[in-house]
Structures are given as structure tokens and as C-alpha cells.
Amino acid sequence: MQGQKITPCLWFDHQAREAAEFYVGVFGGSVDRVHRSQLDTPGSKAGDVLFVEFTLAGQRYQALNGGNHVTFNDAISLSVVCEDQAEVDRLWEALTTNGGRPVQCGWLKDKYGLSWQIVPRQLFALMQDPDPARAKRTMGAMMEMVKLDVAKLQAAADGH
């Protein structure tokens, strides 16, 4: 794994390959390498998938089949900056389908329990508006949303 010093490693019970393929299907990228266990371990046998290296948007990740004694929690999430509402909608639908669920303020959990933030690029500009009243209205509108809506955020900033 050259060129990237830090690689997020995601812990799964036994779905590492399935999850990597799902994420590649949603975001594009590649499953780069599948590593199989050389030994029988608690919960798996020699030859089972141990971990998977994959790439999303130029970022490398690892997915580890480590067993069910560790689960994802809200202390970490993957934040995705979207170019427009269409991308927000597409990613939101893909990640909440088949067992995922919406949370609040652009956050969701996918079917594996991993937390994501699906954020339109426009939100950053609106929340950093030099007019503090516009920024405050934007943040207030965002706090009321589940999936973020660019048009409603813009309307709130504009005072509508």
C-alpha cells in the first residue's frame, strides 16, 4: 500500500468482502486484494477471507473479518462531500436501502452499522457566510433536517 500512510481499517463480523464490494458499487473504486486466513481462528477457518483492501475515490481502506465482539459506533463516521442534491439523493438512497437507516443532520447508518455523513458542498459555504445571520439560519435549518436539502438550506440562508 504505497502512497498513503494511514489507511482506515473497518471491522466486520464476517462481511468484509461483501461490504467492500457494496461500497465500491456505491462510490466507484476497486477491490484491490483479498487476503485469506492461513490458520483456523475463533470464528473462521483457514482459507476464509481475513481482510480486504479496497479503494474509494482514491482513498484506500481495509475491511477486516474480526468477529462479532466489536461493532461500529458513532465515535467515527465517513464524511462524503457531494457536488449537488442529485449526488446527495443517490448516495443517501444507496446507503439507507436494505437495512441502513437515516439519523439526523445528514448522518445515516448503512446496513453494516457504519456511520456516514452525506454533505452537500454548498453547506460549507453557507455555514461560513460572512453574514452571521445567514450562517445561523443555515445551521438552524440543517439541525431540523434528516437528509440535507440544498434548496432548503439556501432558502433558510436567504431568510425564506
Q: 108 and 89, same structural domain? A: yes
| Predicted confidence band of residue 2 (pLDDT cuts 50, 70, 90) | low
**Full residue range of the structural domain in which residue 47 is found:** 1-70
Q: Euclidean distance between the first and final Cα of the chain, in Å? A: 49
Max Cα–Cα distance, the chain, nearest Å: 62
Mean pLDDT on 89-105: 97
Q: 82 and 30, same structural domain? A: no
Mean pLDDT on 95-117: 97
Q: 46 and 15, same structural domain? A: yes
74 φ/ψ angles, rounded to the nearest 5 degrees? -75, 0
What is the CB-side half-sphere exposure of residue 105 using CA atoms within 13 A? 6
Q: 159 and 107, same structural domain? A: yes
Least confident range from 18-32, 62-76, 132-146: namely 62-76
Q: Which amino acid is at 37?
A: S
The reported pTM is: 0.92
Orientation angle between helical segments 85-96 and 150-157, nearest 10 degrees: 130
Mean pLDDT on 85-102: 97
Q: 37 and 85, same structural domain? A: no
CA distances from 7 to 38, 62, 113, 127 (A): 23, 7, 19, 30
Q: Is residue 9 a contact partner of residue 61, using CB atoms and an 8 Å limit?
A: yes
Domain end point (choices 22, 40, 70): 70
CATH number of the CATH domain containing 96? 3.10.180.10
* Structural domains of the chain, count: 2
Residue 1 predicted with pLDDT over 80 = no
